[in-house]
Structure 1
Amino acid sequence: MKHYIKKSRLIILLTVILTVSGCASMGVDPWDRDLLAKSSMAINSSPLDQSIDDHIYFSKEAASGGRSFAGGGCGCN
């Protein structure tokens, strides 16, 4: 029974150590920041294109998707 307790404690300890150390290096290195700061790396690099795509999508789907504007399947606003 003692052997089982020691083994389970070791497994729990290793699991905790691996879990905690898995998020230790989540930061961005200084030499990588110039690449991530480029406008092409943005989530929405072209707001105008995104707006046009949203308009076309919601016109075809006949839904506003929580964007709080009027319109239906006809494409009119």
Structure 2
Amino acid sequence: MAEKLILPTEVKVCATCSYWDGERQVDAEMKLVVVSDECQGECLVQETNKPGLHDVRKECDCIWEDLEPDDDVGSPPAAA
């Protein structure tokens, strides 16, 4: 079995981006992303292969988007 790294979902690496198409497990309850330390996947924005642990903070053409769902998108406002 391959070694695994567990990353909080707020860490800005390719494996925590909603536009990254690679093998990962997302635990919504624990807010963790689990990836193999050598995993690869396609960046759907840049259309290039990227390692899952690629740090995107210094990439000017990256459109990194958090895996977290938007809060209450499409829900009616709460009654007062």
Fold similarity call, TM over 0.5: no
Higher strand share: 2
| Structure label with greater radius of gyration | 1
TM class by smaller structure? under 0.3
Q: Scaled by the length of structure 2, what TM-score is found?
A: 0.19
